[in-house]
Structure 1
Amino acid sequence: MTILPVPLSTLKPGEKSKVIQLEVKGLLRRRILDLGIVPGTVLTCIGKAPAGDPIAYLVRDTVIALRSEDASLIYIDSAAR
């Protein structure tokens, strides 16, 4: 089966997937890695703000919020939803 990477920002509340790839650069990359978001990490979207930004994710038993712009640079496995 071929893995089709899609942006994390496409994950809907209640859906879960695995991180495949990070396209984040600079200080934001460091922050993402410090939060424990690395390839292989399982994330669950737990909610979106009324305007759609930021988006809350459950990562390793911790809730974090990411802007849609930042979440679109993190790629997940589309089949693992």
Structure 2
Amino acid sequence: MGLFVLAMKLTALKPGKSGIIKDFTDLNLSIKLMEMGCLPGEQITYERVAPLGDPIAVSIAGYQLSIRKAEAATIIVEEVPPLF
């Protein structure tokens, strides 16, 4: 039985869940995000959301980063399955 992995936007993850960055939907914004450490192949964890819903806090490369939901929606991730 194979493992089925679904690619989704970072904003589709629930707080506390992690994913591996696979791609970006906005070329111009992807340059800014990559400069901040959001590189393809990096594990990113959706930590929490601000009380009014924007921005969100993510953990990547050993630090926390706050980004707007519109920016997070351009990051395509594959969810990391939980370890049992």
TM-score range, shorter chain: 0.7 to 0.9
Matches within 5 A, 1:9-48: 9-26=11-28, 28-48=29-49
SS in 2 for 1:53: coil
Q: Secondary structure at the match of 1:38?
A: coil
CA contact (8 A) 1:14 1:45 kept: yes
Structure 2 residues without counterparts, runs of 5 or longer: none
Using the size of structure 1 for normalisation, the TM-score is 0.85
1:54 paired with 2:66, answer no
Structure (1 or 2) with the larger CA radius of gyration: 2
TM-score (normalizing by structure 2): 0.82
Deviation at 1:2, TM superposition (A): 4.8
Contact preservation (8 Å) 1:19, 1:38? yes
Structure 1 vs Structure 2: percent identity of aligned residues?
A: 27
- Where does the alignment leave 5 or more consecutive residues of structure 1 unmatched? none
Q: What is the aligned residue count? A: 79
Q: What CA deviation, in whole Å up to 9, does each residue of 1:23-49 have, x standing for no partner? A: 1222x2221011111211100111100
For the aligned residue pairs, the C-alpha RMSD in angstroms reads 1.4
Following TM superposition, the consecutive aligned residue runs of length 4 or more in structure 1 with deviations greater than 2 angstroms are: 1-4
Normalized per residue, the structure richer in helix is 1
